[in-house]
Amino acid sequence: MGRAASETALLQPFKTGRRTCAATSAIIRQGERQERIYHVQSGWAHRSSLLSDGRRQILDIVLPGDFIGLDWILGVEISYSVEAITELTYDVFGIVELEADIALPLLRLAALERQRLDLHMISLGPRSASERVAAFLIDCRDRLAARGLAAGAIFPLPLTQQHMADYLGLTLVHVNRVLRRLAERRLVTLENGEAVIHDMDGLMSLAAADHERPGTLPV
Amino acid sequence: MGRAASETALLQPFKTGRRTCAATSAIIRQGERQERIYHVQSGWAHRSSLLSDGRRQILDIVLPGDFIGLDWILGVEISYSVEAITELTYDVFGIVELEADIALPLLRLAALERQRLDLHMISLGPRSASERVAAFLIDCRDRLAARGLAAGAIFPLPLTQQHMADYLGLTLVHVNRVLRRLAERRLVTLENGEAVIHDMDGLMSLAAADHERPGTLPV
DNA sequence: CGTCCCCTTGAGCAGAATCAAGCCTAGTGG
DNA sequence: CCACTAGGCTTGATTCTGCTCAAGGGGACG
């Protein structure tokens, strides 16, 4: 993201190293205390919360260029886990005593992250399943494109349907059916960890409002 | 909130005045550019986003002690409105050129706000209607109690059922039925803009996981 | 070759939405 | 003083979106 470029530069003095971790391993574990900030260089991850009954809500999808752990500042136990989806490489920033001159860029990063959360809540609140899926795919493409990681309407999507379900607040089975319908209508297809948007306009209008509204039945 | 005390003190030099506004009027309008931060002294408000088709998602309920507009720093058009629910009094902070020494406290406030968004997303994602309502009522009580605004299990709740519906991602009608059931089970009652929790334990176990799971039917 | 993970599809059910009234209260104005 | 209105709450009947349960298929990998 171009916008984060200056923030990144200001953080450089605090960089303490680069790490790699394998798919499915955890970078931050729910309940631990946080003392670092991470900056993802490549790979996908998710930030999620586990409920006591086993249900899971994925709060955010983390893409290359995103930061993790901006709320280390609270100094409390973290209430979520961050888990790699693919192999992940990331820079580590050890910010023990925070210098005032980097507080400002961090604040900007936190605000950006919140914008994303707002949008996600709008998906989870009033939107139907197909609206959610459509909006999600468009959102992924846009975020990847902004980082130069999408080739036009084609982009990598290394998520299982279970991931999407947990992110969108749906069940795996239902996500599957919705994806199938989107493919049948030639809007998007998912294959081999790649998504191809065939009809961006159609997908966008579906995301904005589900036009497949039930017609009023004759009496 | 005790935690925000030091932040508030550091912001004092930037305070430019105190204002009052009437119920249902807007403090921040979707699309405007933001140049101030507000600190609510009394009254309730909501932060919400309007969809093109008229649906609305309330992103956050704003209580006395909360800050509004922490993302002014992005300098972009704000994508939400903040609207008073009751009469509202609030302090205004005009922070045009941001001094570095207050970036840190603001960052902490932003992180706190995000914690709340995370919790709300967990409600909107996997939780059922009655879980959402129960969790919401407990959450309101806790936040008010932390500010000395709840008398034990009794607290003001100046929201219409439409407000709750828009916040919880449900319909007015369904919120009504859920509230009725909660009252019948003697868990909570709402009356005259006040909520009374009769059975905190029962309500909490309902919020954690809906135990009214359907028994397996005989074949 | 067997196991594991993920995807797919069907049948049936239920939680929540929609549609449609009706009620109550507070406020307004004739 | 009372009719009238408007906003919010309540309830019933009905429909449908999305969930649950269940089973099977295919690819990757040891």
Q: Is B101:B10 a contact under the CB 8 Å cutoff?
A: yes
Average pLDDT over residues B114-130: 95
Strand pairing of B81-84 and B88-94?
unpaired
β-bridge pairing A36-42 and A88-94: antiparallel
At B5, the pLDDT band (50, 70, 90 cuts) reads: low
CB of B217 within 7 Å of some strand C atom:
yes
pLDDT at site B180: 97
Decide which of B106 and A177 is more confident. A177
Query: What mean pLDDT is predicted for residues A95-118?
Result: 84
Give the contacts of B133 (CB within 8 A, at least 6 positions apart): B164, B168, B175, B178, B179, B182
DSSP-derived 3-state class of residue B136: helix
Averaged pLDDT score across all residues of chain B: 89
**Residue A106: CB atoms within 10 Å:** 26
Please state the φ and ψ torsions of residue B54, each to the nearest 5 degrees: 100, -20
Say whether pLDDT at B1 is over 60: no
**What does the pLDDT read at residue A48?**
96
B89 touches strand C (CB under 7 A): no
Band (pLDDT 50/70/90 cuts) for residue A2 is very low
For residue A101, which residues of chain B lie inside 8 Å, CB to CB?
Answer: 100
Beta-carbon-side half-sphere exposure of residue B119 (alpha carbons within 13 Å): 18
**CB of A171 nearer than 7 A to strand C:** no
pTM for this model (two decimals): 0.91
pLDDT (average), residues B193-209: 92
Please report, rounded to whole angstroms, the spatial distance between the CA atom of protein residue B185 and the C1' atom of nucleotide D24: 44
A104 beta carbon to strand C: under 7 Å: no
pLDDT tops 70 at residue A84: yes
> What confidence score (pLDDT) does residue A126 get?
94
Asked if A104 and B100 come within 8 Å (Cβ–Cβ), the reply is yes
Residues of B in contact with A120 (CB under 8 A): 121
Question: What pLDDT, in 10s, does the model give residues B172-183?
Answer: 999 999 999 999
Q: What is the pLDDT of residue B213?
A: 37
Residue A149 pLDDT > 90, yes or no?
A: yes
**B22 exposed, middle or buried (CB, 10 Å; 0-12, 13-18, 19+)?**
exposed
Report, as an integer, the average pLDDT of B43-51. 95
Model confidence band, residue B46 (pLDDT cutoffs 50, 70, 90): very high
In B, which residues are within 8 Å of A51 by CB distance? Answer: 122, 126, 208-209
Confidence class of residue B75 from pLDDT cuts 50, 70 and 90?
A: confident
Task: Compute the average pLDDT of residues A141-169.
Answer: 96
Q: Which nucleotides of D are covered by protein (CB under 7 A)?
A: 7-13, 15-22
